[in-house]
Amino acid sequence: MTFERLPDLSTAELVAERIREALLQGTLRPGDRLIEADIAAELGISRGPVREGIRLLAAEGIVVLRRNRGAVVTSPTFDDVLEVYVVRLGLGLLALNHAMSLDAASAPEFDDVELLLRRMRNPGVQGDALLMMDADLHFQSALFDLSGLTRVTAVLDQTARDIPVFVKVLGITYDELDHSALIERHERLLHAVRQRHRDAAAAAWRDHVRCTVGEFARGYPAAQFEGIFDLPLMHHVFDHHDNLG
């Protein structure tokens, strides 16, 4: 592992962010141990913030604290992915409804959301799977921010930080993702919010979550895929008559 040194006034959140970056870069992998003393030395800080940063990641499920082994990077299960998207589905609907009740489309920030959607149409962005995922998540976060619900959006922002880690650790690729379909879903969502059509916004958001969960599901072995609808959390995302396309 190679970490950039942190400023003197570092925080546990910054330590956690550096560890996430190491996961995204592939210098940390599932099963690797996080040794406080080594990380503290590389970052140029004391062990206290490192310990707290690791505890933050343990609370998120990114690492597990094991007796006699300390902190170990975990490999997220499909249930972990589902939990994140069930949270995003429910809190996303809450944020969207509240934004519409405030007529957020009339706010100057709505123009910024439209610009973020426009960025997703850039061929240079679409040609890089990681850039496209980043643009997608930034669009969603900006849209949720229109609600002004700071606690709700803080949780949504946390789940957005989980997603790139899941993608990297699970080896999920979006190279074959239909970008046109993704953008079309977001266009429908944005149009519904602009028109304050709650049912249409809910349908567009649910459709997006279902499509994304489907992308993750197809990254799992066929044996797991066959029984995927038996997972209890799946019924919060899909109805019994739905399929994963």
Q: What is the pLDDT of residue 3?
A: 66
What is the average pLDDT across 206-223?
A: 80
What is the pTM assigned to this prediction?
Answer: 0.78
- Please choose, from the candidates 1, 2, 11, the residue with its C-alpha nearest in 3D space to the C-alpha of residue 45: 11
- Is residue 50 scored above 80 in pLDDT? yes
**Per-residue pLDDT tens over the stretch 60-93:** 778 888 877 788 988 878 888 899 999 999 999 9
Under CATH, which architecture does the 12-73 domain have? Orthogonal Bundle (1.10)
Per domain, the residue ranges of the chain are: 12-73, 78-236
| Structure confidence at residue 234 (pLDDT) | 79
Give the pLDDT band (50/70/90) at residue 9. very low
- Give the mean pLDDT of 221-227: 58
CATH architecture assigned to 78-236: Up-down Bundle (1.20)
Q: Is the pLDDT of residue 189 over 90?
A: yes
Tell me the average pLDDT across 104-131.
92
Distance CA 164, CA 166 (A): 5
Mean pLDDT of 96-124: 95
Give pLDDT tens digits for 13-26. 889 889 988 888 88
